[in-house]
Amino acid sequence: MNGDAALARGDARKTAEGLTHLCGFGNEHASEAVPGALPVGRNAPQRAPLGLYAEQLSGTAFTEPRAHNRRSWLYRIRPSAAHPAFTHTHNGRIRTAPFTESVPDPNRLRWNPLPEPVEGTDFLAGLWTLGGNGDVTQRTGMAVHLYHATDSMDRVFSDADGELLIVPERGGLLLRTEFGLLHAEPGHVALIPRGVRFRVELLDESARGYVCENYGAPFQLPDLGPIGANGLANPRDFLAPVAAYEDVEGPVEVVNKFCGNLWTATYDHSPLDVVAWHGNHVPYTYDLRRFNVIGSISYDHPDPSIFTVLTSPSDTPGLAGVDFVVFAPRWLVGEDTFRPPYFHRNVMSEYMGLIEGAYDAKAEGFVPGGGSLHNMMSAHGPDRETFDRASAAELKPQKVDDGLAFMFETRWPVTLTAHAARADHLQPHYDDVWRGLERHFRPLH
């Protein structure tokens, strides 16, 4: 990194750490960067204040039930319609559903982190699709991506195919969006809604992490049922930006992901020119350390659905297109209980990643920046070392606070891209972690 880049990152970090936010999940926000820019009492006045253009951005169909309806009104220097034609450009290592490059694999799979990126890689160039499911033209399914970057983006990106849940593992990010600026560090997640233009700037020497691209219904908070009115991810901990705009005349490259392909156009202005906005279809961040972990205070290990941060529901109640689940620091106090995650076969498919530290079901081999895939019905659970240790452990209260792992759990199997199936960083002997699980069965006669 040269001196100018280091200086720019220092400035970006100062900006990121000084941000103010709006708080709440799914509520109606309103923000204006210039007093008087937001119309009062109507969305589309004959002439919007300050000579701005009024524009609606829909996140759901106009007619979806009010409880799920997402849309925002943007007041901008130029309408989004003011752009030249897009031309198809290369997709890099980004792939999109339907995934047909390989056959769905029933094996348990695990990867080391992506190799270090070459200098000059920005967030978009560094996106690397592991796999996914569904069909983007049907707005079903999801994709698992990883990213690594050495450079901030100069260009602007938007994804018409789905919302992007960004999970940083290394390096802080400053996200400049149409709605304003957001700051995400490792341990936070950031969500960019479908179609929202944004740019990723790096706050550290490099950046690395995971992305869930959700083609389906926007993520929402899970119902709490008997848990009550509070708990898990609390709504007020979700942070939305305040309005901030770029008044830039001059060429700006805008890349649009549409039905699996990247399309590029050079605008004569920045599209991050929204001076005021209101609505509930907004980007946001969430600090995973604020997750209120609920668990057993008697015996047994609750199903990991208890750790759901966000869920994208499907047409079947309780059956998510994709859930985002976090394994956050927590106390284990169960009596006469095997405390690490149990052995299981799941009808859902699980991609797991590690943000920091270690995971309590795997003694080694599952490292920050790496990931594992356990497709539907694949048998998995603790490795032998963990089984032996946990079976013999003294069951005093135990704090699990040496790691932060997460899961993208989806109703459909994840089919790999060709480059994920052939990757040098795919571990060849993952099955070995379950080798040597001895028989202990001693029938009584």
User: Whole-number minimum distance, CB 304 to Fe ion, in Å?
Assistant: 7
How many chain residues are in contact with Fe ion, going by CB under 5 A? Answer: 1
Query: In the structure encoding, which two tokens stand for residue 153, read together?
Result: 């983006």
Q: Residue 354 burial by CB count (10 A; 0-12/13-18/19+): exposed, middle or buried?
A: buried
- Closest CB to Fe ion among residues 252, 325: 325
Tell whether residue 147 is among the known ligand binding residues.
no
Measured distance CA(80)–CA(271) in Å, rounded: 7
Cβ-based nearer residue to Fe ion, 83 or 301: 301
159 binds Fe ion (CB under 5 A): no
Please state the closest distance from residue 16 (CB atom) to Fe ion, in A. Answer: 35
Give 112's DSSP letter: P
CA–CA dist 387, 360 (Å, integer): 10
Site string for Fe ion, 292-331 (x = CB under 5 A): ----------------------------------------
**Is 350 a binder of Fe ion (CB under 5 A)?**
yes
Cβ atoms 408, 142 nearer than 8 A: yes
Binding segment for Fe ion (CB under 5 A), chosen from 132-140, 204-212, 349-357, 424-432, is 349-357
Helix (H, G, I), strand (E, B) or coil at 49: helix
The answer on whether 344 is annotated among ligand-binding residues is: yes
Measured from the CB atom, the residue of 163 and 350 that comes closer to Fe ion is 350
We find the least distance from the C-beta atom of residue 84 to Fe ion, in angstroms, to be 48
Q: What is the largest CA-CA distance in the chain?
A: 89
Q: Is 90 a catalytic residue?
A: no
Shortest distance (Å) from residue 210 CB to Fe ion:
17
Task: Say whether 350 counts as a known binding-site residue.
Answer: yes
- Rounded to 5°, the CA angle 206-212-216 comes to 155
**Distance, CA of 425 to CA of 107 (rounded, Å):** 16
Residues 207 and 143: beta-carbon distance below 8 Å = no
Catalytic residue from among 301, 419, 429, 440: 301
Smaller CB separation from Fe ion, 73 or 366? 366
Q: What are phi and psi of 407, to 5 degrees?
A: -140, 135
- CA of residue 96 relative to chain centroid, distance: 16
Return the residue nearest Fe ion (CB atom). Answer: 350
> What is the Cα 2 distance to its own chain's centre?
30
The stretch near Fe ion (CB under 5 A) out of 81-89, 255-263, 273-281, 343-351 is 343-351
Residues in binding site for Fe cation: 344, 350, 380
Which residues are documented as binding site?
A: 344, 350, 359, 380
**Contacting residues toward Fe ion, per CB under 5 A:** 350
Question: Residue ranges for the binding site for homogentisate?
Answer: 359, 380
**Active-site annotation, residues:** 301
